[in-house]
Copies of this chain bind each other. A is one copy, B any other.
């Protein structure tokens, strides 16, 4: 595969210094699973941390030797010659705390009880994730990232990095983001959570010990989430009112292609994703609100930002609309921060940040070219 980082191998970092979480609880012992691509340069200045969004993981680019179809979720963005060029940068992908892809989370064993955490795993926040990522950076000997980058919930982490660790990153790349969730955003998350929590197989989150999983709830949660990732226009052009069987059958089986597509997405997700993780990730989204401690004043909240910030939004993203990105840009400008903003005219809705759009990718490439000039000896 040309322009791929090729075969990659996940690694694990173990941490024994207790981590105090926002919720007040402490993780005294935890592991983060991560991958790296490219080579850390001699002065350790070319590292880029890529943060994941809702259902993704540390597997950002490349493939696994024993699973060549399992391509990293941002492989179109990251690799040799790609916008985030691994022949120049040392890129790190990390599974967040509370995740279900290897890092310590509800599926892990609680060292205090010897049993799986399940529903007892703490509520985690974007800030907790960023703190844990900072410790991973310590372990990897990275004092300052060339950039921290993400889309959606990943972008919230990139922004939180710029706020919490201003000296530890040169740049923050904030794509398809919002300074906090709107009431409507929270509402959609709450529907998803209620679908899971009220599934009789949820058992207060301790379904694993009973050998079941709240798959019905997870399926509905994913279906409703999926609607918000696509634009209305994109759904119209991809599916419209196309029939599944060429004619109407007047039954509750699938009549329209869009129903079939959503059911498929729901089923797939329910088979591989952990419900307790999903609940916690939607909560992390709800809680993210840097301006909260500043009486809603985002400018104050972003006062500590020293990094250059690239903010990108997509015109048809109705989950985190360009208007929300502009709030971030305005607050940064109020602070005279170095900020670059681009609004990409794309039909795909929120999912656009994951797709291969020439203008979008050229823009990211140009930004990382500039960063490269900065850090080049």
Task: Given A183-B236, A252-B283, output 18 extra A-B contacts at Cβ < 8 Å.
Answer: A23-B250, A123-B252, A125-B250, A181-B241, A182-B235, A183-B232, A183-B238, A184-B230, A187-B262, A188-B227, A190-B259, A194-B219, A198-B220, A199-B216, A200-B216, A241-B289, A250-B283, A255-B286
A191 within 8 A of B: yes
**Using Cβ atoms and an 8 Å threshold, which residues of chain B touch A262?**
187, 190-191
A107 within 8 A of B: no
Complex Cα–Cα for A236 and B279 (A): 23
**Using Cβ atoms and an 8 Å threshold, which residues of chain B touch A241?**
180-183, 186, 289, 292
Least CB separation from A287: chain B residue: B248
Q: List 15 A-B contacts (CB under 8 A).
A: A182-B240, A183-B235, A184-B236, A186-B256, A187-B262, A188-B227, A190-B263, A193-B252, A194-B220, A194-B263, A195-B220, A197-B252, A198-B216, A241-B292, A250-B283
B-contact 0/1 string along A140-166, CB 8 Å cutoff:
000000000000000000000000000
**Using Cβ atoms and an 8 Å threshold, which residues of chain B touch A92?**
none
A239 within 8 A of B: yes
**Min CB gap A30→B, angstroms:** 18
Least CB separation from A125: chain B residue: B250
**Using Cβ atoms and an 8 Å threshold, which residues of chain B touch A123?**
250-252
B-contact 0/1 string along A112-136, CB 8 Å cutoff:
0000000000110100000000000
Measuring CB to CB, which residues of chain A are less than 8 angstroms from any residue of chain B?
A: 22-24, 122-123, 125, 180-184, 186-188, 190-191, 193-195, 197-200, 216, 219-220, 223-224, 226-227, 230, 232, 235-236, 238-241, 248, 250-252, 255-256, 258-259, 262-263, 266, 279, 283, 286-287, 289, 292
**A194 contacts B248, CB within 8 Å?**
no
Cross-interface CB contact of A184 among B188, B220, B232, cutoff 8 Å: B232
**Using Cβ atoms and an 8 Å threshold, which residues of chain B touch A239?**
183
Cross-interface CB contact of A266 among B188, B194, B251, cutoff 8 Å: B194
**Using Cβ atoms and an 8 Å threshold, which residues of chain B touch A266?**
194
Least CB separation from A280: chain B residue: B252
Complex Cα–Cα for A190 and B258 (A): 9
Complex Cα–Cα for A235 and B185 (A): 10
- Which of A186, A199, A230 has the most B CB atoms < 10 Å from its CB? A186
Q: Contacts A181-B241, A236-B184, A240-B183 given: A256-B194 contact, CB under 8 Å?
A: no
Complex Cα–Cα for A248 and B123 (A): 12
**A200 contacts B200, CB within 8 Å?**
yes
Q: Contacts A223-B190, A223-B191, A224-B224 given: A183-B258 contact, CB under 8 Å?
A: yes
Complex Cα–Cα for A22 and B247 (A): 13
Q: Contacts A194-B220, A220-B194 given: A227-B180 contact, CB under 8 Å?
A: no
**Min CB gap A231→B, angstroms:** 9
Complex Cα–Cα for A343 and B195 (A): 36
**B250 contacts A279, CB within 8 Å?**
no
**Using Cβ atoms and an 8 Å threshold, which residues of chain B touch A235?**
182-184, 187
- Which of A198, A219, A238, A252 has the most B CB atoms < 10 Å from its CB? A252
- Which of A190, A198, A251 has the most B CB atoms < 10 Å from its CB? A190
Complex Cα–Cα for A362 and B128 (A): 54
**Using Cβ atoms and an 8 Å threshold, which residues of chain B touch A190?**
223, 256, 258-259, 262-263
**Using Cβ atoms and an 8 Å threshold, which residues of chain B touch A220?**
191, 194-195, 198, 220
**Using Cβ atoms and an 8 Å threshold, which residues of chain B touch A188?**
224, 227
**Min CB gap A251→B, angstroms:** 7
